[in-house]
Amino acid sequence: MRVVLLGTAAGGGFPQWNCWCPTCRVARSDPSRAHPRTQSSIAVSPDDVRWFLINASPDVREQLPRLPGPRDPVPDGVTRHVPIEAVLLTDAELDHSVGLALLREARALTLYATAATIDVLERDSRLLPTTRAFASVAVREMPEGQPIALVDRAGAASGLTVEAFAVAGDPPRFASTCRPGHTVGLLVRDEAGGGTLAYVPGCGALDAGVERQLRRADAVLFDGTFWRDDELVALGISTSTARAMGHVPIDGPGGSLRIIAALPAATRVYTHINNTNRILLEDSPQRGALSAAGVLVGDDGLAFTV
Ligand code: MLT
Ligand code: MN
Ligand code: ZN
């Protein structure tokens, strides 16, 4: 299975349009020291031809050209090519779902999400009804703890399966209810190759249940939103801690790094990185600590095979 990181920043991207925190300043003045990043999303493929988009970010239009185009030569008369087979969602947060409406020109889309996420998209953000005004959207519910086959646009099994598992976290602020399954991690497995990827861009606590799921994966992409629990408080940007926002910090008591660094997965990457997080600085001590632990900092365009 091929994995491409299309975007690796948290909501707002990096630098964020209205932010002049120390890291955003470096991204503007010296981008070689802090690479700009688009909002988090990945694509996975069993064959480098059929791609499944996981989370549809507001930056999807500039992200999809990172995937291979239609096989050359494009047959005469072909005027449209949709480069993805389906969209999978971990939650209904705006930075993960606004791209759905931006893909409306596809005419037909397939969406995999949990019942709770589908509910928020239908009733609260109304991204599903809005998208359906332009394209037919086939919705496939992802049950928790049960792998289901990912099907391509032609209706054939792709060879990939996905299994959702619940993680601690807050539902989107605009959600009218808080149903279990509003935020999940995904295990994507290549049935033929045997490789398993864990994608967990938002996670409020790396508890024993989540750790058990991550131990099943050969590659782990995990919530790297904040370095410290009080990161935004210390910068005077917010009064909320990382945990209060549904993101376990990397460092500090109960931080994720100790567990992520000890996972058996050969590839361990932080993604969904907030613009304030000093791991974004190529030469920071925080970056050095991750390097020493063998954990990568996600960068747009990073790709690997699982
Ligand atoms: C989050 O990751 O907590 C949300 O994306 C926050 C937001 O949408 O501003
Ligand atoms: Mn987010
Ligand atoms: Zn910033």
Residue 76 lies in a domain: no
Distance 16 CA to ligand 3 centre (A): 6
Residue 73 lies in a domain: no
DSSP track, 235-262 = TTS-S--TGGGT---SSSTT-SHHHHHT
Overall pTM > 0.85: yes
Distance 16 CA to ligand 1 centre (A): 13
CATH at 23: 3.60.15.10
**224-261: per-residue pLDDT in tens?**
999 999 999 999 999 999 999 999 999 999 999 999 99
Task: Give the span between the Cα atoms of 217 and 115, in whole angstroms.
Answer: 24
Q: C-alpha angle with apex 38: 36 to 40, nearest 5 degrees?
A: 130
Cβ contact 242:194 at 8 Å: no
Is 206 a residue whose pLDDT tops 70?
yes
How confident is the model at residue 72, as a pLDDT?
66
Domain around 264: 2-68+82-300
Protein residue closest via CA to atom 6 of ligand 1: 11
Question: Which residues have any ligand 1 atom within 6 Å of their CB?
Answer: 10-11, 93-95, 202, 245-246
Cβ contact 198:213 at 8 Å: yes
What are residue 37's DSSP bridge partners?
14
C-beta neighbour count of 144 within 10 angstroms: 14
**32-73: per-residue pLDDT in tens?**
999 999 999 999 999 999 999 999 999 999 999 999 877 667
Distance 270 CA to ligand 2 centre (A): 13
What are residue 54's DSSP bridge partners?
42, 88
Mean of the per-residue pLDDT values for the chain? 97
* Ligand 1 atom closest to residue 95's alpha carbon, by position in its atom list: 5
Residue 13 lies in a domain: yes
How confident is the model at residue 21, as a pLDDT?
98
Residue 46 lies in a domain: yes
Task: Give the span between the Cα atoms of 149 and 86, in whole angstroms.
Answer: 12
> Three-class SS string for 160-195?
EEEEEEECCCCCCCCCCCCCCCCCEEEEEEECCCCC
What are residue 140's DSSP bridge partners?
112
Pocket test for ligand 1, best of 38, 59, 89, 93 (most atoms within 8 A of CB): 93
**66-102: per-residue pLDDT in tens?**
998 776 677 788 889 899 999 999 999 999 999 999 9
Total domains in the fold of the chain: 1
Name the band, by pLDDT with cuts 50, 70 and 90, for residue 13: very high
The length of the chain in residues reads 306
Distance 202 CA to ligand 2 centre (A): 7
Residue 306 lies in a domain: no
**143-175: per-residue pLDDT in tens?**
999 999 999 999 999 999 999 999 999 999 999
Residue 17 lies in a domain: yes
Task: Give the span between the Cα atoms of 77 and 190, in whole angstroms.
Answer: 34
Burial of 14 per CB tally in 10 Å (0-12, 13-18, 19+): buried
How confident is the model at residue 76, as a pLDDT?
83
Residue 74 lies in a domain: no
Task: Give the span between the Cα atoms of 253 and 161, in whole angstroms.
Answer: 35
Residue 257 lies in a domain: yes
Cβ contact 106:133 at 8 Å: no
Cβ contact 111:138 at 8 Å: yes
Q: In what order do the strands lie in the sheet with 2-7?
A: 136-141, 108-113, 86-88, 52-54, 41-45, 2-7, 303-305
